[in-house]
Amino acid sequence: SLQNVAETVFPPGLRGNRQESQEKAGLDKKRAKILSVGQREEPSIMRKEFYVDKILRGQLLPFISECFSEGNYRFQQDNDPKHKSHLAIEFLAKEKIIYWPTPPQSPDLNPIEMVWHEMKHYLRKYAKPKSKAELEQGIYNFWATMTPAKCAKYIGHLRKVVPEVIKRDGRASGY
């Protein structure tokens, strides 16, 4: 299953500077791959047009083509308005991207949320970046620790979470 989301990281050392770093990544049972790291190309809030053109078309399609040419994947993203926009949903349908929608407020159903959590912990405790360059290097260093065993653990976590979410009628599992 391919899991892909974008996340803005504000380590404590950079919060006052309001430097934003935008990470996009893919995760499956065998590998984790950074699609991009760095400051947003678009200032302020990312718009749906930018998301579809630069992220979905420019990064997701090549990633799927490279890693999942046989079509054995599920694309997942959170419920950010630009992700659920008509423009994005139409693009996913037109490109025949196998999409797995999730209920609102469901990070427990999104394995990459666990990766982001671990990455933020790593950045705060070990990397402690004081500049954009140090932040980016810390992100790359963290991603170098993403072994196939870790990836399988994150994806495998769904086997525990999904039945619990079903039991709770779609509410968060508590995991």
CB 42 within 8 A of CB 50: yes
pLDDT at 70 (0 to 100)? 86
Tell me what pLDDT residue 78 has.
82
Task: Write down the pLDDT at residue 142.
Answer: 93
Tell me the C-alpha distance between 11 and 1, whole Å: 29
Helix/strand/coil (H, E, C) string of 41-81?
A: CCCCCCCHHHHHHHHHHHHHHHHHHHHCCCCCCCECCCCCC
- At 14-56, the pLDDT tens digits run 333 334 455 667 777 777 766 655 544 544 577 899 999 988 9
Maximum average pLDDT range among 6-10, 68-72, 133-137: 133-137
pLDDT recorded at residue 1: 26
**In the predicted structure, residue 122 carries a pLDDT above the cut 90:** yes
Check residue 11 and give its pLDDT: 36
The residue with greater pLDDT, 172 or 142, is 142
Band (pLDDT 50/70/90 cuts) for residue 90 is very high
pLDDT tens by residue, 93-117: 999 998 887 777 778 888 888 888 8
User: What pLDDT does 38 receive?
Assistant: 53
Q: Read off φ and ψ for residue 96, nearest 5 degrees.
A: 55, 40
Q: What is the mean pLDDT of the chain?
A: 78
Range with the lowest mean pLDDT among 3-7, 75-79, 117-121, 127-131? 3-7
Q: Please report the beta strands in the chain, taking only residues with DSSP state E, as ranges in sequence order.
A: 3-9, 21-27, 32-38
pLDDT at 19: 41
Contact yes or no for 16/146 (Cβ under 8 A): no
Range 75-100 average pLDDT: 91
Confidence (pLDDT) at 14? 39
